[in-house]
Structure 1
Amino acid sequence: MGEFWPVPDALAYLAGRWRVTRSVRDLASGAQGEFTGTTDFRAEETEEKEETEETGGLLHHESGTFVWQGVARPAERILRFLPGPGGTADVRFADGRPFHDLDLTSGRHLAGHPCSADLYRGEFTVLDADHWRTVWRVRGPAKDLVLRTGYAREG
């Protein structure tokens, strides 16, 4: 079929700088927004880590502009991608709390994350060596969203 591009090592694939475009739709209100910016996946600085923590992970730093209802604001987030078994990754929030697992060995991965009463369900798809995408569906009493993100490798 060729729709998915298998990745034997998620961290090796993700390392580097990516252009990011994300659309955000609030299905309850019909409001829409867009984020544009970059994501850098770079080696974590080991001197910042405690000796007992795992090393060899990537720091994911996303920064850019989020436009919501005509108002543009700077936006950024940091995640940690730690090595998992067999080329997978363990994705954590910046403070170390678990977010989701990531297995791109088939080129596609489904993940879930409960956030209070809301449930985040993500689909990760690798398109080729330089392009991948995510689609997050968020449902619950506080949220009814679809977030679609495209990533294109820079340089």
Structure 2
Amino acid sequence: MGECWPVPEVLAYLAGRWGVTRSVWDLASGAEGEFTGTTEFRTEETGGLLHHESGVFVWQGVARPAERTLRFLPGPGGSADVRFADGRPFHELDLTSGRHIADHPCAADLYRGEFTVRDADHWRTVWHVRGPAKDLVLRTDYARES
């Protein structure tokens, strides 16, 4: 993976617009998909960031529009408290070392995310989703847009 790039203040680092490429693999069936689009982190009155992602998801040859919204709230020591749009907790995010592992249990499934900051303008997440009906890997690369 290479060296990690430490980020003392995650919200300051993420603020702005990012190009997004996500690969999705279903390890059980062998099916693959890809999402391409943009993510924008906009400052909210709370001091946190509103994360809005939109683009096109292609799954087994079928393209569909896709979007999601998350909230990144200020956490201790330059970290973030990541929430779903409705306020439910998702995970913590501390990039002071340039790398972070987050777990999110969802019903019978476990989502484990690895966040790696490559440099000032590139970061990656890799989520492994495992459960009775799921065995997925989602790898997302972010590149800052000017």
SS state at 1:39 partner: strand
Alignment correspondent of 2:67: 76
SS state at 1:56 partner: coil
Determine if the alignment matches structure 1 residue 93 to structure 2 residue 109. no
SS state at 1:96 partner: coil
Alignment correspondent of 2:24: 24
Alignment correspondent of 2:123: 132
* 1:125-149 residue CA offsets vs partner (Å, 9 max, x unmatched): 0000000000000000121100000
Mark the runs of 5 or more structure 2 residues left unpaired by the alignment: none
Mapping for residues 1-155 of structure 1, pairs under 5 Å? 3-44=3-44, 46=45, 55-155=46-146
CA distance in 2, matches of 1:117, 1:62: 26
How many residues are aligned here?
145
Q: TM-score, normalised by structure 1?
A: 0.92
Q: CA deviation at 1:33?
A: 0.1
CA distance in 2, matches of 1:4, 1:68: 31
SS state at 1:11 partner: helix
C-alpha RMSD of the superposition: 0.7
Mark the runs of 5 or more structure 1 residues left unpaired by the alignment: 47-54
* Percent pairwise identity: 86
Give the letter aligned to residue 57 of structure 1. Answer: G
CA distance in 1, matches of 2:13, 2:108: 33
CA distance in 2, matches of 1:106, 1:81: 19
Q: CA deviation at 1:37?
A: 0.1
CA distance in 2, matches of 1:13, 1:143: 32
Q: TM-score, normalised by structure 2?
A: 0.98
